[in-house]
């Protein structure tokens, strides 16, 4: 291989701009859902923690969808000196009859994001791969592209871009194909490091694949380890799992745009999920076009992992409501895990513009 060819191969992941030495740091409000805080209380909390940004996700504020409240949110962002990002949730209609209702909600989320002063509108395609509405992965990718194209003019007219969250639905290469086919001039990536492990992916691969499209970067850690029934994954506080965040931030500094903000997003207390990677029928149904080299990287991640051994209160257990007696402990845990995660991001990863 000639030197020019070799350098071209090594440069397959384009560098879109080095990030500054100190990167703005914020938190994702969904992680404190148990506290049932208003939007104003989240601004006050971010200021108390001396953060630079706030991501309002799945707001529990009783006035969240009131246009008069959106103007207040924008005002508070200025008052507290915080960069604000927000948006909506799922955009794929589960049935054809829901197509128009989904688009109406999507358009309302676009209007809300613009009024709040967010540069993007968050969107999720599906919660899980096995919950995608159509029979094949390709059909669901085509559906996602149709939905995105249906709101293209509204997004562009609003001066925004759609930030599609990396969720437990598509692998990074599929996510990339959706963005490029729909139109990268108005669609991009909400990069979450916690969800790729549910789609057999090392989050470092996700970053390297989607860096050119990334508009917002959310850090969530996981333990990933071999299990008798497959590979187990579970979310844990930042810095306490299997993922090498020092390496991820090093690559992020090389690959992401300078304006991208980083948000701490520890969603903890959820039970272990075991991915049945030894089940041939599971592969044929959900990962017929999985890439061997990417899966090999995921297996290597699992081989160096181990179960989480610190005490944790579990919630969101399938088939069981969270016992009322657990609620106070969950509220405490969500805030304490967030504070541990921010501390790790600030002191170990050297993130954030302000000194705590």
pLDDT at site 75: 98
Query: What's the confidence (pLDDT) of residue 17?
Result: 59
Q: In what order do the strands lie in the sheet with 273-275?
A: 221-227, 230-236, 273-275
The mean per-residue pLDDT over the stretch 169-177 comes to 98
* 77 touches 18 (CB < 8 A): no
Question: Is the Cβ–Cβ distance between 129 and 168 less than 8 Å?
Answer: yes
> Which pLDDT score, from 0 to 100, does residue 29 have?
98
Domain spans of the chain? 15-220+241-268+338-347
Tokens 């992941």 found at: 13
Q: Write out pLDDT tens, residues 92-120.
A: 999 999 999 999 999 999 999 999 999 99
In this predicted structure, the answer to whether residue 219 has a pLDDT above a threshold of 50 is: yes
pLDDT at position 321, please? Answer: 86
- Alpha-carbon span 173 to 177, nearest angstrom: 6
End-to-end alpha-carbon separation of the chain, Å? Answer: 51
Q: Is the pLDDT of residue 323 over 90?
A: no
Q: In the predicted model, is pLDDT for residue 15 greater than 90?
A: no
| Spatial separation of the C-alpha atoms in residues 269 and 266, rounded to whole Å | 10
Query: What is the dihedral angle through the alpha carbons of 160, 52, 79, 123, rounded to the nearest 10 degrees?
Result: 30
pTM, rounded to two decimals: 0.94
Query: How far apart are alpha carbons 221 and 240 in whole angstroms?
Result: 7
Ramachandran angles phi, psi of 56, nearest 5°:
-80, 100
Closest by CA to 194, choosing from 140, 248, 230, 144, is: 248
CA quadruple 106, 111, 117, 123: dihedral, nearest 10: 0
Task: Write the pLDDT tens digit of every residue in 68-89.
Answer: 999 999 999 999 999 999 999 9
Whole-number pLDDT of residue 64: 97
Distance, in Å, from the CA atom of 269 to the CA atom of 337, rounded to the nearest integer, reads 10
| 324 or 98: which leads in pLDDT | 98
Contact in structure between 125 and 164 (CB atoms under 8 Å): yes
| Chain center to CA of 276 | 23
Token digits of residue 104:
């109406």
| Cα(91)–Cα(163) distance, integer angstroms | 12
Q: Tell me the mean pLDDT in the region 290-314.
A: 97
Kindly tell me the sign of the dihedral angle through the C-alpha atoms of 276, 279, 285, 290: positive
User: What's the pLDDT tens digit per position in 250-261?
Assistant: 999 999 999 999
Model confidence over 24-75: pLDDT tens digits?
999 999 999 999 999 999 999 999 999 999 999 999 999 999 999 999 999 9
User: CATH topology for 15-220+241-268+338-347?
Assistant: TIM Barrel (3.20.20)
pLDDT bin (cut points 50, 70, 90) of residue 16 is low
Q: What is the mean pLDDT of the chain?
A: 94
Q: pLDDT by residue (tens digit) across 147-162?
A: 999 999 999 999 999 9
3-state SS of the chain? CCHHHHHHHHCCCCCCCCCCCCCCEEEEHHHHHHHCCCHHHHHHHHHHCCCCEEEECCCCCCCCCCHHHHHHHHHHHHHHCCEEEEEEEECCCCCHHHHHHHHHHHHHHHHHHHHHCCCEEEEECCCEHHHCCCCCHHHHHHHHHHHHHHCHHHHHHCCCEEEEECCECCCHHHHHHHHHHHCCCCEEEEEECCCHHHHCCCHHHHHHHHHHHEEEEEECEEEEEEECCEEEEEEECCCCCCCCHHHHHHHHHHHCCCCCCEEECCCCCCCCEEECCCCHHHHHHHCCCCCHHHHHHHHHHHHCCCCCCCCCCCCCCCCCCCCHHHHHHHHHHHHHHHHHHHHHHHHCCCCCCCCC
pLDDT score of 346 more than 90: yes
């Amino acid at each position: 291989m000639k030197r020019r060819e070799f350098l071209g191969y090594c440069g397959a992941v384009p560098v879109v701009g080095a990030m500054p030495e100190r990167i703005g740091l914020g938190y994702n409000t969904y992680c404190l859902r148990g506290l049932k805080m208003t939007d104003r209380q989240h601004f006050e909390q971010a200021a108390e923690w001396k953060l630079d940004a706030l991501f309002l996700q799945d707001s529990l504020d009783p006035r969240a969808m009131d246009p008069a409240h959106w103007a207040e949110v924008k005002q508070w962002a200025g008052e507290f000196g915080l960069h604000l990002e927000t948006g909506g949730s799922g955009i794929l209609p589960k049935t054809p009859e829901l197509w128009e209702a989904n688009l109406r909600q999507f358009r309302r989320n676009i209007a809300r994001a613009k009024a709040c002063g967010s540069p993007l509108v968050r969107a999720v395609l599906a919660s899980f791969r096995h919950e995608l509405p159509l029979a094949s992965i390709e059909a669901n990718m085509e559906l996602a592209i149709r939905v995105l194209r249906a709101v293209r003019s509204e997004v562009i007219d609003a001066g925004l871009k759609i930030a599609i969250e990396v969720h437990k639905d598509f692998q990074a290469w599929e996510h990339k194909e959706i963005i490029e086919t729909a139109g990268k001039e108005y669609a991009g990536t909400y990069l979450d490091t916690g969800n790729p492990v549910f789609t057999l992916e090392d989050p470092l691969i996700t970053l390297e694949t989607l860096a050119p499209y990334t508009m917002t970067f959310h850090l969530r850690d996981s333990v990933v380890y071999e299990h008798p029934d497959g590979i187990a994954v579970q979310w844990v506080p930042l810095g306490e799992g299997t993922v090498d965040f020092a390496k991820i931030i090093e690559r992020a500094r090389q690959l992401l745009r300078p304006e991208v903000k980083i948000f701490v997003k520890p969603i903890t207390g959820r039970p272990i999920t075991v991915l049945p990677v030894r089940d041939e029928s599971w592969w044929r149904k959900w990962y017929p076009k999985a890439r061997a080299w990417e899966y090999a990287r995921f297996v290597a991640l699992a081989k160096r992992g181990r179960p989480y051994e610190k005490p944790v209160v579990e919630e969101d257990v399938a088939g069981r409501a969270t016992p009322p007696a657990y609620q106070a402990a969950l509220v405490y845990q969500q805030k304490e895990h967030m504070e541990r995660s921010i501390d790790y991001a600030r002191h170990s990863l050297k993130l954030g513009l302000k000194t705590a």
